[in-house]
Structure 1
Amino acid sequence: MCGIHGIIQLDGQRVEASTLSAMGDVTRHRGPDDEGLHVDGDCGIAMRRLSIIDLAGGHQPLSNADGTLWLVCNGEIYNYRELRAELQAQGAVFKTGSDCEVLLHLYERCGDEFVHRLNGMFDFALWDARRRRLLIGRDRIGVKPLYVMQDARRLAFATEAKALLALPGVRAELDPGVVASYLHLGYVAAPGCIFKGVRKLPPATLLSVEDGKVREWRYWRLPTRVEQGVSEQEWIARVRARLEESVRMQMVSDVPIGAFLSGGVDSSAVVGYMARHSSQPIRTYAIGFEGGAAEALYNELPYAQRVARLFGTTHREILVKPDVVSLLPKLLWHMDEPLADTAFITTYLVSEFARQDVKVILSGVGGDELFGGYRRYLGGHYAERLRKWPHWMRRGAAYAARHLPSDRHSGALNALRLAKGFLASAELSDDERYRSYLQVMGRDVVDELMLQPSTQAEDALSLAMAGAGTQDPLQRMLAVDAETQLPDDLLLLTDKMSMAVSLECRVPLLDHELVELAASMPAAIKVRDGRLKHVMKEALGELLPSDILDRKKRGFGTPMGAWLKGELAPLLDRLLAPQVVAARGLFRQPAIDRLVADHKASRIDGTDALLALMNLEVWSRIYLDGREPSDVADELKSHVR
């Protein structure tokens, strides 16, 4: 695990080693154990290393026998042992025990097709000196991020966007074209990036530079063909076997390893299968919040304790009352881009806690997107029931819903929030109803906010829906999530927040073979009669007790909405004050004032919308104004006090 970066000069100029070193200095947190670079005239590749496998011999860049191929790779190749044995049988001679070295030998034999043989999470850069060709790529699901910047003189890449700001002549600028999309979704979807002139390489994508020509192509897509004629029991057996194998494969490590444990289905399954394949107790880590009723809703520690006892783990947990004012600037610097998902705070805190003991952690991220674990996947199920009501009754319910109170941090008001969202969208098409569940702000609200109208013809959700490849509503929802929110929100924050503390986070539920298996499964077996994750829960019935399998789902976030009405109200008011908003020149103050007032009065749950605006302002102070995160934090703390 590490951070990679590099440059290829399109104008033929030599790459300076000092520039590569400066890029690496920015991402030292990703690889505090080692660094390395290779410069060959107009191309240079480099890395910062967090040593996980082959601690002594895995220094990068790696090269082949005659020094004509050079590689830097961030991530882990889980099937490297099998590939290594196969390649050695074919005559390959390995210099190291590194999992990444298999990429070099596969490329020598298979060319660009080598990427299809890899099971892992990765981004890589491979320099082919004979062809004077640079090849960079990203894993199928998008677990590891990769940013690209290109102009007339050069193409540069880096695991973190901030490393590109170390290039000569580059300064941080906001791309105004992505602001509306960011507000709509709460994150910047690939290939967009908040920095002008920078883009994300999409998941499962390769990019080559040869003879001054840049070529980019997708090498894998989520399967769209559903396999029919398979019994439910056979699906259950397949899911169970692949789940266990995915966890077993991802336990390979030469350093201490642990697992996040919330007590939910996904993290509990990971821990249970880890325990089966370990001769030592698994180390598990959980987080809870101190405070009142709102904090208690996010406290899953009793469930985590239940699972820890069940599998005899060495369990540690932490109760926190986050200093959000101090954390936000620091974490947004690490994130590179603003986002409206409070899970980035929780993920950072539990990662920091686990890093006291381990360098590798396994997470349950991805199970909901594969097997249908979110309440929003039931929209079609309940819409069918609602359509049986008389038209006048449906219209009346939709009208009444607009006036219901809404607050996700109160049990009763959260139920009203969910009912309000469902009733308000029940008459929409399947795609537009799903958009209403995903959006942080409706497009009409974004238009009211923006001083300059958005010029983006199609947004990320529209493109993902158009490319979903199926008309089944549930399969479409899962396909859209796999293309958008999963890589560009959940996986991005998981990577950035764990690597902020030099912790490698693995996601066995997103093993690409398990992803392909889930995609080929009929929708009716994933969500059955209103039961979310039906097939996964049935597969885990021999591993987990029913009180864990069928417990009420809770998001891995923070009670931010409640804090914004209480102790963080001064922070909200300061960051969205009229003089601040006017100075940025992006938004209309009356629209912001309405959002704030409606949230404080619980007319809406505006948590994500307000956090999107607040985080954009904090991000701007760091990157656009060129201030240190600690300086921004000190200023904000003085206002809150």
Structure 2
Amino acid sequence: MCGIHGIYQLDGQRVEPAHLTAMGDVTAHRGPDDEGQHIDGNCGIAMRRLSIIDLAGGHQPIGNADGSLVLVCNGEIYNFRELRAELQAKGYRFKTGSDSEVLLHLYDAEGDDCVKRLNGMFDFALWDGRRRRLLIGRDRLGVKPLYVMQDGKRLAFATEAKALLKLPGARVALNREAVPGYLHLGYVAAPQTIFEGIRKLPPATLLSIENGQVREWRYWRLPSRIERGWSRDEWLQRTRAQIERSVEMQMVSDVPIGAFLSGGVDSSAVVGCMAKHSDHPIRTYAIGFEGGEAEALYNELPYARQVAKLFGTEHHEIVVKPDVVGLLPRLVWHMDEPVSDTAFITTYLVSEFARQDVKVILSGVGGDELFGGYRRYLGGHYARKFGRLPAPLRKLAGMAAARLPADRHSGLLNTLRLAKGFVASAEMDPDARYRSYLQVLSHDTVAQLLHAPRSALADDALAHAFAAAGHDDELNRMFAVDAETQLPDDLLMLTDKMSMAVSLECRVPLLDHELVELAAAMPADVKIAGGQLKHLMKASLGDLLPQDILHRKKRGFGTPMGAWLKKELAPVLRGLLSPAVLHRRGLFDADVVTQLVADHEANRIDGTDALIALLNLEVWSRLYLDGRDHADVADELHHLANGATAVPA
């Protein structure tokens, strides 16, 4: 695990070592154990290393025997031992025990198709000196990020966007074309980024430069064929076996390893499988919040303790009342791009806690997408029931629902919030209904905020993902859309950035691509039966986890941010989104923002995600556009929290 970066000079100039060093210095948190670079004329590749496998011999860049091939690789290749044995049988000789060297020789043996043989999470850069060719790539699901910046003189890449900003001539500017999509979804979907002139390499994508020509292509896509010939028992057996195999494979490490444990189905399944394949107690880490009703809704510590006791783990937990004001600028800086998902705060805090003991952590991220764990996946199920009601009754329900209060941080009001959203979308077509569940701000509201025509916002990342999904199976169509958008560009992005901010490698065994392919082939009526979320997955774990864990009420891995915005963070919110600040920044209609704040505070809407999206974009602007240090911005936010007036942007 590390951070990689590099430069290919399209104009033929030699790469300067100092430029690579500057890129590595700003991402030292990703690899505090080692660093290295390789320059061959107009191409230079480099890395910062967090040592996980082959601690002594895994230095990078790593080259083959004659130095004609040189590689830097971020992440882990879990099937490297099997591939290594296969390559040794073909006569390849290895000088290290690292997983990265396997990729180097596999490329020599099979060319670009080598990436199809890899099971892992990775991004890499490989310099083929014989052909004067650079090849960079990213794993199938996009667990590891990779940014690219290209102009007429060079193409540069890096695991974090901030490294690219250290290059001479790099200009920091807001990508205004990305703003509507960001406001709509709460994250910037690939290939765009929030930075003008920088893009993301999409998941499962390779990019090559040879003879001055840049070529980019996908090497894997989520399968679209549904397997209808297997019995329920076959699905149960295959799912359980693949989950166990994925977890066991990802336990490989030469350093201490642990697991996040919330007490939910996904993290509990991972911990249970780890315990089964370990000869010593698994270290587990859980987090809870101090406070009132809102904080209590996010406190899953009793469930985590139950699972920890069941599997005899070495359990650690932390109860926090985080200094969000002080944390926010630093975390937004680490994220590179703003997001509305407050799970980035929780992920950072529990990662920081776990890093005191371990260098590698396993997470249950991805189980909800694979096996149908989100309430939004039941939209079609309940819409069909709603459609059987007489039209006058449906109309009356719609009018009543529109008047309901909404607040996700109160048990009753959160139920009303969900009901309000469901009724409002029940008679939409499936794609539109699903969009309504995913969106942070509607296209209409985004148009009002930006003074833009609504028609200009329709061609967005979701529209492209829906067009490419090609599923008749509604549930798996939703999964295909998530796998192209929210999963890599929100959930996996924040998981990577927040764990690596504290030099912790986070692995996601439920997103092993073979398990993903299995889940993608599963019919909807097998995944979700009778309106029960994750029906098949839960059934497959019936002898591993107790029923009260398998069937307890779902709770997201976030923070009670909506409640904090009405209380202790209210001065910060109003300060950073004041009319004076908004007018100076020149992006948004101040009246629309003021109304959003008022509607959230009055519980007319749950505006948590929308307001966090706006707030984080302003914090990002102060850090990146204004060039301020995160400690400086944190001091300003503390002053705001204490009643000071915001400094206009």
**Which TM class, normalised by the smaller chain length?**
over 0.9
Q: 1: distance between equivalents of 2:463 and 2:396?
A: 30
What is the aligned partner in structure 2 of residue 546 from structure 1? 547
What is the aligned partner in structure 1 of residue 518 from structure 2? 517
The answer to whether the Cα contact below 8 Å between 1:451 and 1:585 also exists between their aligned partners in 2 is no
What is the aligned partner in structure 2 of residue 390 from structure 1? 390
SS in 2 for 1:333: helix
- 1:451, CA displacement in angstroms? 3.6
Q: 1: distance between equivalents of 2:361 and 2:242?
A: 20
What is the aligned partner in structure 2 of residue 438 from structure 1? 438
- Relative to the length of structure 2, the TM-score reads 0.98
What is the aligned partner in structure 1 of residue 495 from structure 2? 494
Matched, 1:461 2:467: no
SS in 1 for 2:223: coil
The answer to whether the Cα contact below 8 Å between 1:6 and 1:158 also exists between their aligned partners in 2 is yes
- For structure 1, which segment, 443-452 or 70-79, has the greater mean C-alpha deviation from structure 2 after superposition? 443-452
Please list every run of at least 4 consecutive aligned residues from structure 1 whose deviation after the TM superposition is greater than 6 angstroms: none
The answer to whether the Cα contact below 8 Å between 2:473 and 2:523 also exists between their aligned partners in 1 is no
What does residue range 443-454 of structure 1 map to in structure 2 within 5 Å?
A: 443-453=443-453
Q: Residue 589 of structure 1 aligns to which amino acid in structure 2?
A: A
Q: 2: distance between equivalents of 1:172 and 1:152?
A: 17
Q: 2: distance between equivalents of 1:42 and 1:52?
A: 31
Q: Residue 263 of structure 2 aligns to which amino acid in structure 1?
A: G
Q: 1: distance between equivalents of 2:465 and 2:503?
A: 33
Matched, 1:570 2:583: no
What is the aligned partner in structure 2 of residue 504 from structure 1? 505
Q: 1: distance between equivalents of 2:284 and 2:323?
A: 24
The answer to whether the Cα contact below 8 Å between 2:138 and 2:201 also exists between their aligned partners in 1 is yes
The answer to whether the Cα contact below 8 Å between 1:452 and 1:586 also exists between their aligned partners in 2 is no
What is the aligned partner in structure 2 of residue 354 from structure 1? 354
What is the aligned partner in structure 1 of residue 252 from structure 2? 252
What is the aligned partner in structure 1 of residue 582 from structure 2? 581
- For structure 1, which segment, 82-91 or 393-402, has the greater mean C-alpha deviation from structure 2 after superposition? 393-402
- 1:457, CA displacement in angstroms? 5.3
Q: Residue 577 of structure 2 aligns to which amino acid in structure 1?
A: L
Q: Residue 408 of structure 2 aligns to which amino acid in structure 1?
A: R
- 1:172, CA displacement in angstroms? 1.2
- 1:171, CA displacement in angstroms? 2.2
- 1:229, CA displacement in angstroms? 1.4
Q: Residue 170 of structure 1 aligns to which amino acid in structure 2?
A: A
What is the aligned partner in structure 2 of residue 161 from structure 1? 161
The answer to whether the Cα contact below 8 Å between 1:270 and 1:364 also exists between their aligned partners in 2 is yes
SS in 2 for 1:627: coil
Q: 1: distance between equivalents of 2:580 and 2:594?
A: 13
What is the aligned partner in structure 1 of residue 473 from structure 2? 472
Q: 2: distance between equivalents of 1:452 and 1:372?
A: 35
Once superposed, what is the RMSD of the aligned Cα atoms? Answer: 0.7
- Relative to the length of structure 1, the TM-score reads 0.99
The answer to whether the Cα contact below 8 Å between 1:24 and 1:163 also exists between their aligned partners in 2 is yes
Q: Residue 271 of structure 1 aligns to which amino acid in structure 2?
A: V
Q: Residue 599 of structure 1 aligns to which amino acid in structure 2?
A: H
Q: 2: distance between equivalents of 1:387 and 1:184?
A: 28
The answer to whether the Cα contact below 8 Å between 2:443 and 2:457 also exists between their aligned partners in 1 is no
Query: Could you list the runs of 5+ residues in structure 2 that have no partner in the other structure?
Result: 643-649
- 1:453, CA displacement in angstroms? 4.9
What is the aligned partner in structure 2 of residue 640 from structure 1? 641
Matched, 1:142 2:142: yes
Q: Residue 309 of structure 1 aligns to which amino acid in structure 2?
A: K
Q: 2: distance between equivalents of 1:521 and 1:596?
A: 42
Q: 2: distance between equivalents of 1:296 and 1:135?
A: 49
What is the aligned partner in structure 2 of residue 185 from structure 1? 185
SS in 2 for 1:166: coil
The answer to whether the Cα contact below 8 Å between 1:451 and 1:586 also exists between their aligned partners in 2 is no
SS in 2 for 1:467: helix
Query: Could you list the runs of 5+ residues in structure 1 that have no partner in the other structure?
Result: none
Q: Residue 389 of structure 1 aligns to which amino acid in structure 2?
A: L
Instruction: String of CA shifts for 1:482-505, please: whole Å, max 9, x gaps.
Output: 111000000000000000000000
Q: 1: distance between equivalents of 2:534 and 2:202?
A: 27
What does residue range 19-418 of structure 1 map to in structure 2 within 5 Å?
A: 19-418=19-418
Q: 1: distance between equivalents of 2:228 and 2:351?
A: 41
SS in 2 for 1:70: strand
Instruction: String of CA shifts for 1:363-422, please: whole Å, max 9, x gaps.
Output: 000000000000000000000100110011111111211110000000000000000000
What does residue range 615-626 of structure 1 map to in structure 2 within 5 Å?
A: 615-626=616-627
The answer to whether the Cα contact below 8 Å between 2:373 and 2:533 also exists between their aligned partners in 1 is yes
Q: 2: distance between equivalents of 1:337 and 1:451?
A: 23
Q: 2: distance between equivalents of 1:338 and 1:453?
A: 24
Q: 2: distance between equivalents of 1:424 and 1:58?
A: 55
Q: 2: distance between equivalents of 1:636 and 1:237?
A: 53
The answer to whether the Cα contact below 8 Å between 1:145 and 1:200 also exists between their aligned partners in 2 is yes
Instruction: String of CA shifts for 1:592-613, please: whole Å, max 9, x gaps.
Output: 0110000000000000000000
SS in 2 for 1:183: helix
SS in 2 for 1:344: helix
What is the aligned partner in structure 1 of residue 645 from structure 2? none
Q: 1: distance between equivalents of 2:126 and 2:332?
A: 30
SS in 2 for 1:427: coil
- 1:456, CA displacement in angstroms? 5.2
Q: 2: distance between equivalents of 1:570 and 1:477?
A: 38
What is the aligned partner in structure 1 of residue 531 from structure 2? 530
Q: 1: distance between equivalents of 2:420 and 2:509?
A: 35
Q: 2: distance between equivalents of 1:452 and 1:496?
A: 32
- 1:452, CA displacement in angstroms? 4.7
Q: 2: distance between equivalents of 1:528 and 1:172?
A: 50
Q: Residue 590 of structure 2 aligns to which amino acid in structure 1?
A: Q
Q: 2: distance between equivalents of 1:416 and 1:271?
A: 34
Instruction: String of CA shifts for 1:169-209, please: whole Å, max 9, x gaps.
Output: 01211000010100000000000100000000000000000
Q: 2: distance between equivalents of 1:175 and 1:347?
A: 27
SS in 2 for 1:263: coil
Q: 1: distance between equivalents of 2:125 and 2:458?
A: 33
Q: 2: distance between equivalents of 1:256 and 1:289?
A: 27
Q: Residue 508 of structure 2 aligns to which amino acid in structure 1?
A: V
SS in 1 for 2:227: coil
Q: Residue 303 of structure 1 aligns to which amino acid in structure 2?
A: Y
Instruction: String of CA shifts for 1:495-546, please: whole Å, max 9, x gaps.
Output: 0000000000000000000000001111110011110001100110010000
The answer to whether the Cα contact below 8 Å between 1:255 and 1:360 also exists between their aligned partners in 2 is yes
SS in 1 for 2:76: strand
**Structure 2 vs 1, CA of residues 424 and 336 (structure 1 numbering), >3 Å: closer, same or farther?**
same
The answer to whether the Cα contact below 8 Å between 1:6 and 1:20 also exists between their aligned partners in 2 is yes
SS in 1 for 2:165: helix
Q: Residue 56 of structure 1 aligns to which amino acid in structure 2?
A: A
**Structure 2 vs 1, CA of residues 161 and 18 (structure 1 numbering), >3 Å: closer, same or farther?**
same
